[in-house]
Amino acid sequence: MSTATYTVKGMTCGHCVSSVKEEVGEVAGVSSVEVDLASGLLTVESADPVDEAAIRGAVEEAGYELVTNA
């Protein structure tokens, strides 16, 4: 199991969280997505490491910015 944590910029409400979870959840290999609105943290679990570019693309598709890989 691989776990990666990122910071997402621009989320302001529960709908934002849902949008990010939905888009990131569609990335190939992702098995679990958790998003914390207060901290902006995005935690992605997968069987094998997922390319950060794929996660970044999904976050941008949802309308937000992936700031850092923590």
In the block, tokens 């992605």 appear at: 44
The pLDDT tens digits for 5-35 are 999 999 999 999 999 999 999 999 999 999 9
* pLDDT at 63 (0 to 100): 97
SS3 string of 5-69? EEEEECCCCHHHHHHHHHHHHCCCCEEEEEEECCCCEEEEEECCCCCHHHHHHHHHHCCCEEEEE
pTM above 0.85, yes or no: yes
Question: In the chain, what are the domain boundaries?
Answer: 2-69
Query: Between β-strands 30-36 and 65-69, what pairing exists: parallel, antiparallel or unpaired?
Result: unpaired
pLDDT category of residue 69 using cuts at 50, 70 and 90: low
Percent of the residues in the chain that have a pLDDT greater than 90, as a whole number: 93
Which pLDDT score, from 0 to 100, does residue 70 have? 47
CATH 3.30.70.100 is held by the domain 2-69: yes
d(CA 47, CA 49): 7
pLDDT at 68 over 80: no
